[in-house]
Structure 1
Amino acid sequence: MVNLNYSTSNPVFSGYIWKYKRSSASKMTLNGVILKSLFSIFLVGLTTWYVWDLVNKGIDVQYYTYGGMIAAVIFSILTSYKKKWSPITTPLYALSKGLFLGGISAYAEAKFEGMPMRAVSVTLLTFLIMLLLYKAEIVVVTKRFRSVIITAIITIMTIYIINWILNLFGINLPYIYGTSWFAIGFNIIATIVASFSLLLDFDFIDRKLGKAPKFYEWVATWGLLVTLIWLYVEVLRLMKKLAIRF
């Protein structure tokens, strides 16, 4: 059986983020989460297409890419600490993240034609598989399972942060971003961890349905976007490494 009190691998769904006061107001529903998630994904696609179109016109989108990434971080922080703002900050996060994804996806398309669409297909297929595994209870979210995924998430993110800091000083880690077998193996592990973190998110959201306030549907949407976009980036990165390697 799954313990009722726990935190998920996605910090979006941690106990702090989901702390709320019980009331008789409208509650979070599955349909609400689905509709808001679809709308937010549409917003991501909208700004992704916009930046991609700029690239096709020969316009430098570097500022769009980095600006979108920074804005996404800011809106994530705001959503974390001001959950009631989530109906505004989550769509803004989606738009900002789309700018970032548009830049990296257009770059990948220029180097490897058709790769971004294949990465999107793999991401959506993975999402559906994870949802099926969760609903069919083929994979049960146990305390040990949570601990393993959470530990893996922290380790991977710590490595990425250290690498980012080193890059500021002109130091690169070829064992992370290169095309060596070690780098490819690391990317495969990161992709698997991102995939399985969806199971924890599904489980946590499922237990909050009918309990959390209505605006938490936007918080849930934000959480799923964080995981899905992370998964897409890992899949795209893995595909690029394999294409270069082979």
Structure 2
Amino acid sequence: MAIFGLSTSNPAFTNHFWDRPSRKMGRMSIRGILIKSLFCLALTSITAGYTWKLFFEGANIKWYTNGGIIVSLICSVLISFKPQWAKWLVIIYALSKGFLLGGISAYVHKSFPGFPFQAVGMTLITFFVMLLLYSARIIKVTKQFKSVVISAAVTIFTIYIITWILRFFDIEVSFIRGTSWFAIGFNVIAAIVASLSLLLDFDYIERYRGRAPKEREWIATWGLLVTLIWLYVEILRLMRKLATRF
């Protein structure tokens, strides 16, 4: 079962992209995806560091963070409909996400020093733990498993988009963004779903490596970026909420 034609929690990994023929030589490889992912994460770190610097210099970074959200959303939509543009759009996506992450991280670091760095560490640990669980087949990625994770991910993203839009009208959704037990519980569930989404990504990459065209590595890279950035943000938010409440 799939939602909106998705077979994983990331729109990057749909049959829409992989079933299209290509005349170019080469096939998707783990090495290619790894190199591109590290490159894009480096770009994200650069713009994140720049936004971080502006924040602590006293600059207003609201437009940087909101701009990062808007540009990354536009890139995601364009990649969905124009996968042949992925090489450049994924780079723009990575840069724009850096502005968003830099703003969020700097804001949290100001009140809770060191939290962003701890969140990065926890994200990396979670990534390797999920990779180990997948490699050892401790958690099997079945069709039912995919259906549950996809449904949860789509619901969470929809809620976040709605709350983000409402903020432009000065409407704050406290039961999501606050520090109540409900808000913390929602954050915990979102972090768990983000972690499980990595398993779906690993599964799809494994099934299509050596089969999908080489240029589709950019699509796979985009998918991993979506999940890793989402996981980092959820961990950072959860840490902030718990520290504020307790």
TM class by smaller structure:
over 0.9
Shift of 1:156: 1.4
Deviation at 1:161, TM superposition (A): 2.9
How many matched pairs? 242
1:68 is aligned to: 68
C-alpha separation in 2, matches of 1:28 and 1:90: 16
The unaligned stretches of length 5 or more in structure 2 are: none
Counterpart residue number, 1:141: 141
Any conservation in 2 of the 1:44–1:98 contact (CA below 8 Å)? yes
Q: Who is 2:218 aligned against?
A: 218
Q: Give me the CA root mean square deviation.
A: 1.6
Deviation at 1:54, TM superposition (A): 1.4
What per-residue deviation string (whole Å, max 9, x for no partner) do you get for residues 40-76 of structure 1? 1111111111111112222221211111221111222
What TM-score does the superposition give when structure 2 sets the normalisation length?
A: 0.93
State the 1:173 CA deviation.
2.3
Alignment of 1:84-95 (within 5 A): 84-95=84-95
Q: CA deviation at 1:18?
A: 3.0
Q: Does 1:58 align with 2:55?
A: no
Q: How far apart, CA to CA, are the structure 2 residues paired with 1:125 and 1:91?
A: 25
Give matches, 1:109-188, under 5 Å: 109-188=109-188
* Larger deviation, residues 186-195 vs 146-155: 146-155
Say which is worse superposed, 16-25 or 38-47, in terms of deviation. 16-25
Relative to structure 2, which stretch is displaced further, 181-190 or 164-173? 164-173
Q: 1:176 touches 1:183 (CA, 8 Å); kept in 2?
A: yes
CA distance in 2 between partners of 1:155 and 1:76 (Å) = 17
Deviation at 1:163, TM superposition (A): 2.5
Q: Cα–Cα, structure 1 residues 24 and 70, in superposed 2: closer, same or farther, change >3 Å?
A: closer
| Runs of 4+ residues deviating >6 angstroms | none
Task: Name structure 1 gaps, 5 residues minimum.
Answer: none
Instruction: Tell me the alpha carbon deviations over residues 190-231 of structure 1, each in whole angstroms, 9 at most, x when there is no partner.
Output: 000000000001100111111111111111101100010011
The aligned counterpart of 2:194 is 194
Structure 1 residue 159, shift from structure 2 partner: 2.2
- 2:147 aligns to what SS in structure 1? helix
Rounded Cα–Cα distance in structure 1 between residues aligned with 2:40 and 2:167: 32
Contact 1:17 1:81 in 2 (8 A): no
Partner of 1:26, secondary structure, is: coil
1:20 is displaced (CA, Å) by 1.7
Distance in structure 1 (CA, Å) of the matches to 2:41 and 2:81: 23
The amino acid across from 1:88 in the alignment is W
1:6 to 1:162, Cα distance in 2 relative to 1, 3 A? closer
For 1:39, the equivalent position in structure 2 comes to 39
CA distance in 2, matches of 1:184, 1:7: 29
Q: TM-score, normalised by structure 1?
A: 0.93
Query: Matches of 2:230 and 2:36 in 1, distance apart?
Result: 19
1:105 to partner: Cα distance? 0.7
- Deviation of 1:31 (Å): 0.5
Within 1, Cα distance between the matches of 2:234 and 2:209?
A: 30
1:112 and 1:43 map into 2 onto residues whose CA distance is 25
**Could you tell me whether the CA contact under 8 Å between 2:6 and 2:13 is conserved in 1?**
no
